[in-house]
Structures are given as structure tokens and as C-alpha cells.
Structure 1
């Protein structure tokens, strides 16, 4: 089994690579990207360093892999952050030099399609960080969500434990990233609903694994980065969340059913489920429709877990993934889920 360790953390004043391993969307939508870069400099004291494919639309897998290699190999760069996600990073994985990255461990921050790279790092022995892309979290209209900023700052600079807490307010509705007016006002938010606990009768502490459910499914189909020796996941904390493509409850159930048939779900005594994205430009749900979609997803997950892992402790609506605020979670790092106390503590 690969030993997983935390890479050294950056310090204010250090250089941080900004890459687009999934899609060069900063080239199409520069406003949130530039705002995110500004906040990296002014609020976090880090100097962002872009690479040839960071703003290049249609960059080949080889070009994006070259940026990843350059970012990890440069000794003056102390951390790496994705600009955004995408849907094509799975094609980059075969181009990656595992030994180069293993020899140059660095904190990597990303989510969504970046689940590909997070899982690659897990198998390389490097703890990554699920959350906080430049465009979505740092480039948030108005100001960064305080919970996101606090979590990211701790994950970047402060080793040790950090206790997560539910968002008092959260946002689901997006506005046009191409419109400058979008960034001049705070987005509308909804009251928080807290976390929902199932089987919360024990304490589970283990290494986290999982990510965006759609990407996990693709990796299973392509037979990439998921160990055939499922015992490596024993005792871990499973992280699952869904994207703005908003898969149906039926699709979510089928994906989890297939993970159960493979024997994966049974390995994890705890499951954290991210608050689902329930609104998109293609499906601009009303609050009532959004609540119904979330309830259908919860029931789909419960149905699968009751069948394959009925004793697993589950926490729904944790503020990570395609939601705002967006907590940063260590990927491959330690998470403690304390059911009786209703507390979740991560180790950064």
C-alpha cells in the first residue's frame, strides 16, 4: 500500500502555480479568473504563476500534462491550484509522469474534474485538497465567502486540525460570468439547513477518498486510478458530491449501486455527501424545485447505502463541492467524523 503524506505548505510571498488541467476556461471567461488571481495576491499574499495552457482553449492532453509537470518540477513554486474544472482531464492521466510528481510533492487544490488529479496524487502518495479553484471560489462575485476563505487559508498555511462547521447561508443560483455587473454585487443566498446525520452513533477517523460522483464513475469505467485491491480503502471516509450537470436521482442510485456491486461502498465506515448543486442555466429551478431535487438525491443515496453498506455513517449537505461557500477537504488526508458530537474535523 502506498504511504500517503502531506506535502510542505507554502508561506505568504511564495509562488503558486495556476493551471487548467481540465479546460482552459480562463481564456473564455477572464473576469472571475482575473479576480481570483487578484485575491491570491492581495488577500493570501501568494504570487500566481500561469502556464502555456492555463488560458488556452482546446489544449491537448499532452500540453496540459506538460503544465502539470512544469508546476510540480519548479522548485520556486510551492503550491498548485486549478483555475476551474472541465470534463476531459481523464485523457491527461496517461500522459503524467508519476515519478516526477512523486519526487516533487506539493499541495494541489481543485475539485470537480480535478477529481482525476486528486485521485492520481492519492495513488502517488501525496495528500491533495478538494476545493478552492481560482474561478469559482476565489473569483466569487462580491467577495469570497467567509467560510471558504477561512477554510482555504487554514488548508494553505496551517498544519493540524480544523473543525468544519455548517454554512449559515449558502448560494445555488449563478449569474453570467461574462457580464462585469455580476461581480459588483453579492450573490443572493439562502438560509443554511445544517447537516443531516444518519447512523451517527460512532466516531470514524480515516483517510478521505472519492470526489465528484460523475468523475468517479468515469474513472471506474476507464479502469484508471481506482485500485483493484479494495482493501486500500478500508476504514476511510468517502467523499461524494455532484456537479452542475445535476444527475438525476436514478443516475446517482445506479452509480452508487455499481460501486456497491464492485465492493467499494462497503469499505468506508463514513460517507460525507456534499450539498448538491440544484440550479443551472439549463435548469433554473425554483427554490421548491431545488429542494425536491436535493431530496430525491438524498433518497437515492440512502437507497443504495441501505442495500450495500447499511451501517455506514452518512452526513448529508456538507458544504463542499459544487456549492458556495465551499469548504476545502484534505484528499487522502485525515478526516474525523464524530457522530455523537455531530462534529467533523479535518487535518490540513
Structure 2
């Protein structure tokens, strides 16, 4: 069939940015759990898990038999969706009570993170040196998202297993993630706000991921009494500030979408969906962690906005895939 043939052809040249679909689905499942929708949580988590298995299998195939292609793709910021998606899936499984699976995914993420991060840093350095004055797309913020994903999963497991060392490690990753965000912000092409095909939203999603990591660290401290009053105060203040900044990005990027509509489907639209979901989850998590219940209602509203975006992008992806018109981007 022509449609299925086109879909197979697209899959053969699938870029690493496709991992953002797993990340988007996984973070929405967590948001649905926070909002009390247990059945939808399990359905979305199952979808994220199934997609992760498919993409992980393809990742291994390329690593073993298409080494040059794997190296090229792994060196781009999009390659870090492998780490981010794995940590989000692990967090969902931990919430579900499957701690052994969550530990396994944390270990896998911890192995992948330094390998992929080293390659990405080299890629970014080469880009800066060889394209003076040319800045980067929003996917560069995946350096922060992947790092904060490890922090979120580590802090979640620390609370679930009553262990302090994952929380202390997560705290280090939390601050490292913020440092990476500051560096990548200096490299970001601000024209992408009005011209980007979808991944410009990661600029705000990375701050939301950081706020979620802060909220999980606060939750772990509530259970384990990890830090003194001064440390708790700093973490609380920074976490609240991150939510406010993430909402600021949300407003700016949404206004840019209204003023400069970009309706055509692009694979990078999945990198729009996951920041929408991440912002909602961050708000609901911070509402509970720092006892600001006023954030939960707006967080739930943004969650349904993200669900609507997920449905729209899923439908567009299926139509484009079977129609043979999927736009995808290779390494930039």
C-alpha cells in the first residue's frame, strides 16, 4: 500500500527528534495522574512505554549496524531526547509503583547522559566556532531538559525508597541543569521565537522541567529531612521563580504563535507538546510541594491544553505519515 510504504520510508530516515513524542506522551501521563485521572494516566503511560521500546530498539540497531549515522545523530541536541524520554518514563513507572523498572531506567539514563552530552557539547562548540554570529535552534535546551530529567527521576526514587543519596545527586544535577540553561540561552537564536517550527518551545519547557525537579527535591526533603532551613528556603525560592519564568516563556511563545501562525505539520511540533505538558505538571507539582494551592487549578487547565495539542499533533502526524508528506529535520 502506498501509504504504508511512505510511512516505512519515513521511519527508515527517522531523525532523533522523534523521541520528543515519547517525552510528550510520558509527561502528559504524569500530569493526568496528578490531576486524578488514573485510567488515562495508565493508558498514556502504556503508549509512552510502547513507543519507547520501539525507539530504543531502533536506537540499538543503529548503534550496532549503522554506526556512522548513529554518531551523527547522537551528536546533535535532539539526541538527548533519548535521555529525557527515558527519565520521564522512569518517573511514570515509579509513580505507578514499579520501582525496579524505574531504577533500571535511571541506570540506563545515567550511562547515556555523559556519552550523549559529551558529543553534544562538541557539536555545539564546533557550531559556535564555525558559524560565528549564527545562533542555535530551541533544541539546544535539551541539554538542560535531559539533566533535569535525571534530577526528577533521582528525587522521585529517593522519596519512594527513603534513600538520601539519590536526592543529593539530584540536587547537584538540578544546579548543573540551571547552569547549562544559562549557557544555552546565550547561544539561542531569538528569531526562532517567531520563526521556529516547534522546538523553540523547549526554551520554556526546560525551565518547567527545572521547576519540576525543584518540586521533587522539596518533596524528598519533606520525607527525609535532607537539608537545613537555609537550603530549603533557597530551593523553595528558586523553584517558585522557575515556575514564574516558565509561565513567562509560555505567554511569549503563545503570543508569537498567534501573531505568526505556523500551521503546517513538522516533526518538531512534538517539541511544542512536551513543554506545554511540562509546564502544567510543574505548576501542579510546585502547588503541592510548596503549599501554594492556587497553582493547581491553572495547572490543570494547561494540562488539558497540552492534551488537546497532543491529540492535534498525533492526528497531523498520522495524516502526514500515511500521506508521505512528513517533514523531518536532520542534524543542524
The structure that is helix-richer by fraction is 2
The structure that is strand-richer by fraction is 1
TM-score (norm 2): 0.30
